Amino acid sequence: MRTGALPRALLLLVLSASTFQGCAELAVSLQGTPSEEVPRAVAPEAPAAPAAPAAPEAPAAKPPPIAVADKLFAEGMTALQEGGIERALELFSGAWEEKPGHAGVAREFDGAVLALKKNGDAAYALGKWEDAGKRWMGALRFINHPAANSRGYPFPRRELRAQVDRLTAALTEKALTEYRRGEVSAAIADWKTILSYDPGHEEAARSLETAMKQLESLKKMPPGK
């Protein structure tokens, strides 16, 4: 072999190796390059089915209306608890008129009448004659009501009537005595008391009218007369 031929062979070998390496790098470079993706055909979405209409809500059940008689009875019980006995009896009477034989009224009516009469007795003992007269007269007004069982009361109606009459007689005597003494204003007050619980008392109404005229005449008289 010639000496000059060896370097040439080495040179070719180096060039071949360099070329192979370049090709390998190129292949690797081409493999790393992402290929362009071909867009896929997407099927169109089916239109959504229309929602079924909501079923209408059932109206809330209304409570049954309260009967007028029951309402009046309930109001009467409230008045009774608050001490308005005569007012309670008036409401009980209205309930009975709406519904004769109302069980609640039949149960409570007699107790209310007895309580009203008892309150009148207590007022009389305290010297509160107007209150006593009003409560006794109230008891008299309801004692014969269809809802009352007056046969079971501890007093008869005539006894209660006699109490009212005795009170009226005492007030009348007091008023006349005051009037004769010239205490016209005091007499007027007593006759007004009688009429407050017994508006139809004719004698008291006449006496009051006379006393009022007398009082006006006294006011018109000059001083010192």
Q: In CATH, what number is assigned to the domain containing residue 209?
A: 1.25.40
Residue 83 has pLDDT above 60, yes or no: yes
Cα–Cα distance measured from residue 100 to residue 199, given in angstroms and rounded to the nearest whole number: 30
Task: Assign 65 a pLDDT band (cuts: 50, 70, 90).
Answer: confident
119 shares its domain with 100: yes
Average pLDDT in the 9-18 region? 45
Looking at the structure, tell me whether residues 81 and 116 fall in a common domain.
yes
pTM score, whole prediction? 0.68
Boundary-marking domain end, from 124, 155, 186: 155
Average pLDDT over residues 199-213: 95
Q: What is the pLDDT of residue 87?
A: 97
Among 213, 162, 218, 169, which Cα is nearest to 190's? 169
**Secondary structure (3-state) at 55:** coil
Do 192 and 222 share a domain, yes or no? yes
Residue for token pair 């009218």: 209
pLDDT of residue 19: 46
Domain containing 218 equals: 156-225
Within a domain: residue 41?
no
The number of folded domains in the chain is 2
Residues 145 and 192 in one domain: no
Whether 161 is in a domain gets the answer: yes
Looking at the fold, whether 123 and 185 belong to one and the same domain comes out as no
Looking at 155, 184, 201, the residue that finishes a domain is 155
Residue 198 lies in a domain: yes
Instruction: Pick the last residue of a domain from 121, 155, 189.
Output: 155
- At 10 the pLDDT is 44
Distances (CA, A) of 160 to 13, 48, 106, 120, 190: 151, 88, 22, 10, 21
Q: Are residues 193 and 134 in the same domain?
A: no
Query: pLDDT tens digits for 211-220?
Result: 999 888 777 7
Q: Which two tokens stand for residue 195?
A: 């009429």
Residues 174-188 pLDDT 10s: 999 999 999 999 999
pLDDT digits (tens, 9 = 90+) for 133-190: 999 999 999 999 999 998 889 999 999 999 999 999 999 999 999 999 999 999 999 9
User: Helix or strand or coil: residue 113?
Assistant: helix
